[in-house]
Amino acid sequence: MELRRPILQDKQDFLDMQAEFERFGSRASGNIYAWQKADGNFERWLDLLHQQETRDVLESGLGPFVLYLSYEGNRLLGLLALRTTNTPTVLSEYGHIGYCIRPSERGKGYAKEQLRLGLIEAKAKAISRVLLTCHVDNEASRRTILSQGGQLENQVDGTERYWIELEEA
């Protein structure tokens, strides 16, 4: 698996994956604000994501973040958002990393690898302590977080909060 920033050539893969999320009634975590603000326009979405890497153009309270596409070969598997600042919203609700795997590819171990790669990206951006959150009913996400060393801090309003300490280089 590889994580990479989206490019124009990913348009059809991305639109196909978005349609799959909609068919399954599932939300593409880490992507929803930008996609809504772009009104479903892929080129506008790319522009927003580029801007969002340095400032909160989405006015979501998440601060800057980098969105990655997760590919296995030529198959788009999911998304990972790496939030690079400790805004109150990041620290209280969303955490530093949001990730999702398309519904047809779940249960195959991809989320674990995606999160592992996301933690490498976080470390490269000098983030030494990563907060991840999941809903108390999301057993798959909990297992994914725990597989990467997540330590439960607490539970707030139905959301579990886990920290992962990244080793220093």
β partners of residue 67: 81
Question: What domains sit in the chain, N to C, each tagged with a CATH number?
Answer: 1-163 (3.40.630.30)
Question: Using one digit for the tens of pLDDT, what is the confidence trace for 30-57?
Answer: 667 788 889 989 999 999 999 999 988 8
Determine the pLDDT at residue 169. 47
**HSE-up (13 A, CA, CB side) for residue 164:** 23
Q: What Å distances lie between residue 160 and 11, 41, 128, 153, CA to CA?
A: 34, 33, 20, 8
Residue 118 is classified by DSSP as H
Task: Profile the chain (169 residues) by mean pLDDT over runs of 10 residues.
Answer: 97 95 81 84 95 88 93 96 93 92 96 97 95 95 97 95 85
Determine the pLDDT at residue 107. 94
Determine the pLDDT at residue 61. 87
Q: Which pTM value belongs to this model?
A: 0.93
**129-135 and 159-165 as β-strands: parallel, antiparallel, unpaired?**
antiparallel
